[in-house]
Amino acid sequence: MSCIFCKIAAGEIPSAKLYEDEEIVIFKDIEPKAKIHLLCVPKDHFATLAELNDERSALLGRTFAKIARLRDGLGLTGGYRLIVNQGEDAGQTVHHLHIHILGGEPLPW
């Protein structure tokens, strides 16, 4: 598997991990676009929301709930923004679905 996020999830490539469980990992983005910029990556490899099925939809539901629960521990008490880039026009560069988590300061739109 040549996918960089699969390798990070498997611990084969180092990352600044803040949270991990059996189905997701959260680590710092190497090119932060805000004071706090994290990536939440499901361990299941799929590229876009077009590949959702019932199982993956449930996984994403649990993932959003976990992000909300982890908010304070991640330093996001003041609020945060989630971004899921889909495809070329959105600038998606890693083709393994991931949720950008931005915060730690007031964010310009």
Alpha carbon distance 34, 95 (integer Å)? 22
Cα separation values, 74 from 14, 48, 53, Å: 19, 25, 29
92 lines the binding site for ligand AMP (CB under 6 A): yes
**Catalytic residue numbers, as ranges:** 98
- Contact call for residues 38 and 31 (beta carbons, < 8 A): no
Binding-site string for Zn ion from residue 22 to residue 51, where x marks contact by CB under 5 A and - marks none: -----------------------x------
Q: How many residues bind ligand AMP (CB under 6 A)?
A: 11
4 lines the binding site for ligand AMP (CB under 6 A): yes
Alpha carbon distance 75, 43 (integer Å)? 23
Give the binding range for ligand AMP (CB under 6 A) out of 51-59, 70-78, 85-93, 101-109. Answer: 85-93
